[in-house]
Amino acid sequence: MKTYNLFYACMALLVLMGCSKNDSDDLGESEEKNNLQANYTLIVNNQGSLSGTLFNVEDEAFTIKPEESKFAAMALPELSFEENSVLTTYSKKTNCSGMLTIHDFNDDSNKSYDVFSDLGACNLTAKSIAREEDKLYIAYELQVSSTVDEFYVRVLDVSTSEPIFVDVELDQRPIELAYANKRLFVLGVDEEVTGENSITVIDANVNSIIHSQLVGFDVRRIFTNPEDNIIISYDNLHSTLNSGTMSISYTSYGEGKEPNFTTSSSLHFDSEGKMYYQMTPTAYSTFPVIPAIYDFSKNLTVLYAYENFMTETQLNFEFNVEKTTMVSYDEENNLMLIGYKKTSGANKGGILLIKPAPEPELLNSMDVTGIPTAIFIN
């Protein structure tokens, strides 16, 4: 079991580092990036509606593009799933119908699919969604009576002109989905017997359950890591479930050393396995949510506490930072893009452009209307 110790690094960053690593470990190479040029789509929550704005960064300068984004504005969805340059959302239409929408920012294509209309009159709750190529997955619970619920994962194959679906029935109430190694992993809870959380594994080739196991209490979330295994997150530790053998290894943080990525609205990995996310920093910052980077391979967390790289004037008057709402990373240009909500208005936000460790630097900023929720590289 791995444990974590607390160290300080540089002037701007707080570092949580594994005791098996030495002080020479860092989070990236010091590489000078000249002639930066990148195009992005920013998704903002503008008073309950998601919309897209195109902008680019050239030589560290922000420019809003005049042309409209092809991302179709929509009401804030119930569920969303980000993977690389694709955003999948689920929006409820009635108590027994909904719509899945896929927007691919690579080619700016947008496709929507109605779901659950086959069930007739019913009362269902969609719990989680996932996507893998032409297959969409929706975990949902169906209220049969005031005392009886049924649980399913709907598999929607959209590779043909007429999408087809199959429902896989579950024994436990579903919470979250993750896909790895041609298998769908379902985080659930065994309400009837043990009260523990469970992992149910569905073979994506035949849409049938091939494995199930209990994984203890108080699991907060699951997600897929770059090695195509499943991370199971708890408050004080995480475990890694091998997606092939189903064996589990554990990593413990120690009290006060938690990376706190369990509540981040999005998780972004780079090619080295470092994860960029929103962290609830507890005692490490006066801000409720800050940007952070967690390196699974090096047992290392870097916290970008705003008060450590901004002056009081910048914080309170220039940027008016209230809290972080999204964190993304452009690996090609070695740029962190941080979205935040402002204190100066309920519908005001901003974007910070930051060069990450080992030589962190605030490069530029941009005010936006609405609260940033995601950035996709075009």
Please give the average per-residue pLDDT across 278-298, as a whole number.
89
pLDDT of residue 16: 57
CA dist 230 and 241 (Å) reads: 5
What number of residues does the chain have? Answer: 378
Domain of residue 54: give its range.
33-76+263-378
CA dist 247 and 175 (Å) reads: 21
Tell me whether residue 227 is in a domain: no
DSSP class per residue in 177-245: EEEETTEEEEEEE-TTTT--EEEEEEETTTTEEEEEEE--S---EEEE-TTS-EEEE-SSEEEEE-TTT
Please give the average per-residue pLDDT across 352-370, as a whole number.
88
Tell me whether residue 57 is in a domain: yes
Asked whether the predicted pLDDT for residue 11 surpasses 50, the reply is no
Tell me whether residue 37 is in a domain: yes
Q: Which three-class secondary structure state does DSSP give residue 363?
A: strand
Tell me whether residue 11 is in a domain: no
Tell me whether residue 311 is in a domain: yes
Instruction: Give how many domains the chain has, as a whole number.
Output: 1
pLDDT of residue 86: 95
pLDDT of residue 15: 66
Q: What is the pLDDT of residues 237-261, one digit of tens each?
A: 999 999 999 999 999 987 878 899 9
Q: What is the pLDDT of residues 55-114, one digit of tens each?
A: 988 887 888 888 888 898 999 999 999 998 999 999 999 999 999 999 999 888 999 999
Q: Which three-class secondary structure state does DSSP give residue 90?
A: strand
Q: Which tokens sit at 236?
A: 């004080």
8 Å CB contact between 96 and 112: no
pLDDT of residue 18: 45
pLDDT of residue 183: 98
Asked whether the predicted pLDDT for residue 24 surpasses 70, the reply is no
DSSP 160: S
Q: What is the pLDDT of residues 103-142, one digit of tens each?
A: 999 888 999 999 999 998 899 999 999 999 999 999 999 9
pTM attached to this predicted model: 0.89
CB atoms within 10 A of CB 25: 17
Tell me whether residue 127 is in a domain: no
Q: What is the pLDDT of residues 295-342, one digit of tens each?
A: 998 778 999 999 888 888 988 889 999 999 999 999 999 999 999 999
Q: Comparing C-alpha atoms, which of 377, 281, 316, 369 is closest to residue 49? A: 369
Chain-wide mean pLDDT for the chain?
88
Q: How far is CA 137 from CA 79, 164, 168, in A?
A: 12, 12, 10
For the chain, the distance separating the N- and C-terminal CA atoms, rounded to the nearest angstrom, is: 40
Asked whether the predicted pLDDT for residue 41 surpasses 60, the reply is yes
Tell me whether residue 119 is in a domain: no
Tell me whether residue 97 is in a domain: no
